């Protein structure tokens, strides 16, 4: 089972049972409800060889992301500032857009932190976290009776 899921919260803003087993994004609930900050959706996938985090962030490019690993905590963040200025005859219009987010995941002990890789394709950031060899499920083996 994945040990790196972010926290899920119910309508009463109380931690769900998922908080007991999985990591939790710090400040995500505070920011998203009070200041209108959008936090991208995340898929967490586990197979026999790896864990994979998929961050849906349309409009962001790979250069907009930052991924840090510190004491088994993987943090994916982004800051992007856009400026749009139009000069016409009698006026100047300026619009500024600023987006920022950060998601943190506690990695399980079975993760091979030295081999983590990330790719970006069509608005989705993929973070591949390989499992250590000893954590991979081995195929069934028949034991001969002598």
- Pick from 25-29, 69-73, 104-108, 130-134: least confident: 25-29
115-136: average pLDDT: 93
pLDDT band at 105 (very low <50, low <70, confident <90, very high): very high
- Compute how many other C-beta atoms are within 10 angstroms of the C-beta atom of residue 130: 19
On whether the 18-132 domain is CATH 2.60.40.790, my answer is yes
Please state, in angstroms and rounded to a whole number, the distance separating the CA atoms of residues 27 and 37: 11
Query: Residue ranges per domain, the chain?
Result: 18-132
Local structure of residue 113 (DSSP, 8 states): G
pLDDT of residue 107: 94
Please state, in angstroms and rounded to a whole number, the distance separating the CA atoms of residues 110 and 108: 5
Q: In what order do the strands lie in the sheet with 117-121?
A: 41-46, 50-56, 124-130, 117-121
Bridge partners, residue 92, by sequence: 87
116-121: average pLDDT: 96
117-144: average pLDDT: 91
Q: Residues 6 or more apart from 98 whose CB is under 8 A from it?
A: 79, 80, 81, 82
Pick 97 or 48 by higher pLDDT: 48
58-78: average pLDDT: 92
76-104: average pLDDT: 79
């Amino acid at each position: 089972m994945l040990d790196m899921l972010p926290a899920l919260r119910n309508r009463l803003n109380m931690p769900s049972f998922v908080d007991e087993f999985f990591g939790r994004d710090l400040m995500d609930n505070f920011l998203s409800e009070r200041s209108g900050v959008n936090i991208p959706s995340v898929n967490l996938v586990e197979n026999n060889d790896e864990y994979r985090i998929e961050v849906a962030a349309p409009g962001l490019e790979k250069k907009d992301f930052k991924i840090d690993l510190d004491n088994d905590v993987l943090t994916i963040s982004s800051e992007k500032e856009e400026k749009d200025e139009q000069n016409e005859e009698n006026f100047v219009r300026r619009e500024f857009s600023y987006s920022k987010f950060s998601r943190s995941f506690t990695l399980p002990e079975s993760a091979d932190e030295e081999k983590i890789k990330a790719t970006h394709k069509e608005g989705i950031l993929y973070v591949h976290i390989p499992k250590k060899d000893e954590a991979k499920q081995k195929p069934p083996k028949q034991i001969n009776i002598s």
